[in-house]
Amino acid sequence: MPDDVEFGPQYDAGTTVLGPLNRPPDRPTSGPSGGSANGVGYKGVVSIHAEHPFLTPEPDRDPIRRARGRLNAPVTIWASGSERDRAGLTVSSMIIAEGDPGEVIGLVNPESSLGESIADAGTVAISVLGGQHRQIADVFAGVTPSPGGKFRTGRWGQTEWGPVAEGAPAWIGARLLDGEPERAGWALLVRARIEKVVLADLTEADQALGYLRGRYQFPSW
C-alpha cells in the first residue's frame, strides 16, 4: 500500500453473523446431544435438519440466479466519495478489461447508495478482498450490522478515487466513463476507466476471498 494512503482507526463491529445466503446449509446451530455450541445444555430434544431453514423451495428457484451461483466469483468492495458522503457495496459481478487504458465493469444494485455516489463523484475505488476481509464483505453486503456505519468496520484509507480497505491484496482507482450507467437486467452496469492499480506483496500463507454457491471460499493465491 503506498505511503500516501492514510488509514483511519480500527473498529471491530463484533463477531460476524452469517446471513441466510452465507451460512452453510449443513452447519448445525447447536452442539451435540442437544447442547449448545458453548456447552450450555438444554432440556428436551433439539432436532438438527439437514436442509437450510431459509432455502427457497426447488420449484421457486430462479435458474439464472442458480447458474450465476455456480460461477466462482471474486469478492470486492466498490466505494466512492469521502468523509460523510462515502458509500460502498460488496460486488462480485465484475470484470477487468485489459487495454490502454484498461477498464473495469461491474453490476451494482440500483437501490444502493453507491450508484448515486459514483455518479456524483465520477470515480470509484475497488478493493480486492482477501480471506481476512470476510467481515467487511458481510457488512457491505448488508448481511452484518455495523454500528455507526459501514466504514466503522475495518480500516479505510482515502484516495482521490474513493476509500480503500487496508490490507487489500489489490485496489483499483477508476473514473466513470461519460454518460449515465446503463441497465443490465435489474442491475446498473458501471463502466469506468482504470487510472491506478496498487498491488500488495503476497505470501503463500495469504488467502483470497471467493464466493461460490452462497458460501465463501478461501483459495491460496
- pLDDT-derived band of residue 94, with 50, 70 and 90 as boundaries? very high
Collapse the DSSP code of 116 into the 3-class scheme (helix H, G, I; strand E, B; otherwise coil) and give the result.
helix
H or E segment at 216? strand 215-217
Average pLDDT, the chain: 81
Instruction: Over range 198-220, report the average pLDDT.
Output: 91
Instruction: Over range 133-156, report the average pLDDT.
Output: 96
Q: Are 121 and 80 in contact (CB under 8 A)?
A: yes
Condensed to tens digits (0 to 9), the pLDDT of residues 42-67 reads 345 555 555 656 667 877 778 888 88
Per-residue pLDDT at 70: 82
Backbone angles phi, psi at 210, to 5 degrees: -120, 175
Q: Is the pLDDT of residue 84 over 50?
A: yes
Cell 474513493: give the residue. 162
Instruction: Over range 171-188, report the average pLDDT.
Output: 91
Q: Are 34 and 44 in contact (CB under 8 A)?
A: yes
C-alpha cell at 153: 468496520
> How many whole angstroms from its chain centre is CA 209?
9
Q: Is the pLDDT of residue 199 over 70?
A: yes
> How many whole angstroms from its chain centre is CA 184?
20
Per-residue pLDDT at 53: 66
Instruction: Please provide the distance, in angstroms rounded to a whole number, between the alpha carbons at the two ends of the chain.
Output: 18
Measured CA to CA, the distance from residue 53 to residue 68 in angstroms comes to 22
Condensed to tens digits (0 to 9), the pLDDT of residues 17-35 reads 333 333 333 333 333 333 3
Q: Could you tell me the pTM of the whole model?
A: 0.74
Among 35-44, 50-59, 118-127, 182-191, the least confident range: 35-44
Instruction: Over range 168-189, report the average pLDDT.
Output: 92
Q: Are 102 and 133 in contact (CB under 8 A)?
A: no
Domains of the chain: 68-217 (2.30.110.10)
Nearest by Cα to 172 from 195, 201, 191, 190: 195
Per-residue pLDDT at 116: 92
